[in-house]
Amino acid sequence: MATKPPENDKPATPRRPAQKPDAAAQPPSDAADAPTKGEASRARAVPMDPKPTGLPAPSAAANAQRPVDADAEPRTAGEPTPRVAVEPSSPDEGRAPSGPARPASTPAPAQSQTPIEAERPSPEPTPEPTEATTTPPEFWPVDEHQVAEAVEEIPEPPAYPPHASLFIVHIAPEMAPVAKVGGLADVVFGLTRELAIRGNHVEIILPKYDTLRYDHIFELHEVFHDLWVPWYEAAIHCTVYFGFVHGRKCFFIEPHSQDDFFNRGSIYGFPDDVLRYAFFSRAAIEFLWRAGKHPDIIHCHDWQTALVPVYLYEIYQRLGMTHPRICLTIHNFAHQGVIGGELLRATGLHQPERFFDHHRLGDNRHPNALNLLKGGVVYANFVTTVSPRYAFETKDQGQGFGLEPTLHAHQVKYGGVVNGIDYDVWNPEIDHHLPVRYNLDSIDGKYDDKRALRHRLMLADNEKPIVAFIGRLDPQKGLELVRHAIFYTLERGGQFVLLGSSPDPAINADFWGLKRMLNDSPDCHLEIGFDDDLAHLIYAGADMMLVPSRFEPCGLTQLIALRYATIPIVRAIGGLADTVFDKDHSTRPLHERNGYVFEHYDQAGLESALGRGLACYYQYPEHFRELMKNAMRADYSWNRPGEDYLNIYDYIRDK
């Protein structure tokens, strides 16, 4: 690999003047290094929409959540902390130094321009909502009382508070459609667009994989040629490229190394994955520093970029990067990036006695291992996961895969925000994959798509309901119950369609055997693989969508199904419980109920929900049609999650 001696042993002069060090942003350190009370700032209040959201705004008295001192005792009772959609914090935790609040209208500190940094836009003005009026033609008979009632029933738009324009950088291992493995890629794609629409300057840093979809990258060109990233006792030469991905500003880092970190034909699945992404995280923050970029917020995703806050507070803050604050989003706790002590020598962190400490990166289950995701939780200024229910389950119900003690210790800066879906992609009203498009007022078009689906898959054209499953054939998705649902649906007079595949050859072989068994059935089709065009048609043509997961952080399948008026049949777990409300047993108003839910992971539980759905389709078709309309009315766009994340950014950025 191309190497030269690392330059970070001495503080170097950034390309633009360093920000004045902010004492409240200090990293976890020994008690002697801890900031005093006068050095931290208090969070400002951000009013929220009166309707409940996935993550209420922090209170005015909430305090900055700086990474805690590993050598100090947990903080004791103190000031209130932000309300999140999980269990409230213990009154014995959460005190932080306080100081005067900064006014809500104060813009982020001005940053000097560099050749590769676009000008940060000014915040867009928020229009004042106007009262709806009704002016009938002169020849209409007018009933003033009816007019007044009609005006009162028109819902007002959400009264979101104005936000200062922020400079936000997302550092992620995936982003649809250029580099996609799972739902993380869709989240980065949708959230960054929503943040940019709201007047923020948003940039994304990704690895330059050899498998990138270059047909979706526009104006790709080199912007930083001589980036040297410290690695082991030397440094690796990197080149940084810039391009637009459907309007999003993206930087791609390409290392020139004999290790070929990102030139391996696929994104994941290699023995050195932890070291590969430890290097990418170091390269990303080295690029920000060398380019003179000082964003207000750095938003990291999953274990692959969880070392970014560690690098920031242990190395780069001392070199002048005192302005950025970090939000870490954990999409799945099952993957945490566990590795041995070699990581410290590779990354230049050294000091094993410091980082193997139980309060920093030391893995909770393996005393001689380091845990990247745990380090991200400890060092980040705020940690989110992808639904409030999943936040509760990971902290209090044993689904944190060993991180439960760490989440409890940092619960005052931990919460859940439900993901959204991109309605420019998943919307039956504009979906170019469909033979017939439809919306709430033309919902009968769905039945034309149902006939088209049957024709494509050579299913019998009859009055039976179609139950579908779309997703990875992974044990997490409840494959035993999927298999049982196929036969149960056929026995109860329905049709079944499956689209999915597995990286596990044994699972694929099992479903290929099932496909051959049912190949002659006119009411069943199993498609082992993935076809995006067919996925859109199944969402539109199916009547019910099965999601019987063992655990589900958020889930996008049920959100897409709702948009297409396809009734979800789900297990009450994680994000499924936050987004699907049972037609018969939910405590929600009737117009908010949108599916069928079961509690226990067994065949009886599945049959209780799926059986009720099939019975309603046959016996109460008018009720089923109302359920379809309720599903389409639900708003799971990025609008509300975008507001929740901006509230989090506002909460941490002035600390």
Binding-site residues for ADP-alpha-D-glucose sit at 180
Instruction: Of 63, 55, 61, give the one whose Cα is nearest residue 83.
Output: 55
Q: Hey, what are 623's tokens? A: 């009720």
Cα–Cα distance for residue pair 569/558, rounded to 1 Å:
8
The dihedral through the CA atoms of 141, 145, 148, 154 has a sign that is: negative
Task: Assign 3-class secondary structure to 502-526.
Answer: CCCHHHHHHHHHHHHHCCCCCCEEE
If residue 203 lies in a helix (H) or strand (E), which one and from where to where?
A: strand 201-207
- Cβ-based neighbours of 127, under 8 Å, separated by 6 or more: none
Cα–Cα distance for residue pair 392/398, rounded to 1 Å:
10
Dihedral angle over CA of 420, 422, 426, 428, nearest 10: 100
Phi, psi values for residue 219, rounded to 5°: 60, 40
- Cβ-based neighbours of 453, under 8 Å, separated by 6 or more: 459, 466, 497, 537, 538, 540, 541, 542
DSSP assignment of 339-369 equals: E-THHHHHHT---HHHHTSTTTTB-SS-TT-
3-state secondary structure of 235: strand
Instruction: Of 564, 631, 556, give the one whose Cα is nearest residue 596.
Output: 631
Cα–Cα distance for residue pair 615/624, rounded to 1 Å:
10
Q: Long-range contacts of range 600-609, CB-CB < 8 Å, 24 or more positions apart? A: 601/478, 601/481, 601/548, 601/550, 601/571, 603/481, 603/484, 605/571, 606/481, 606/484, 606/485, 606/488, 606/548, 606/569, 607/488, 609/569, 609/570, 609/582
Phi, psi values for residue 499, rounded to 5°: -135, 115
Using CB atoms within 10 Å of the CB of residue 426, give its burial: 0 to 12 exposed, 13 to 18 middle, 19+ buried: buried
Q: Which residues of 321-347 are buried (b: 16+ CB within 10 A; e: fewer)?
A: bbbbbbbbbbbbbebbbbbeeebbebb
3-state secondary structure of 433: coil
Residue 567 · residue 631 · CB < 8 Å: yes
Cα–Cα distance for residue pair 598/571, rounded to 1 Å:
5
Residue 454 · residue 574 · CB < 8 Å: no
Residue 184 · residue 302 · CB < 8 Å: yes
Cα–Cα distance for residue pair 420/578, rounded to 1 Å:
12
DSSP 289: H
Instruction: Centre a 10 Å sphere on the Cβ of residue 296 and count the other Cβ atoms it contains.
Output: 25
Using CB atoms within 10 Å of the CB of residue 185, give its burial: 0 to 12 exposed, 13 to 18 middle, 19+ buried: buried
Angle 287-292-296 from CA coordinates, rounded to 5°: 95
- Cβ-based neighbours of 160, under 8 Å, separated by 6 or more: 49, 126, 643
3-state secondary structure of 545: strand
Residues comprising the binding site?
Answer: 180
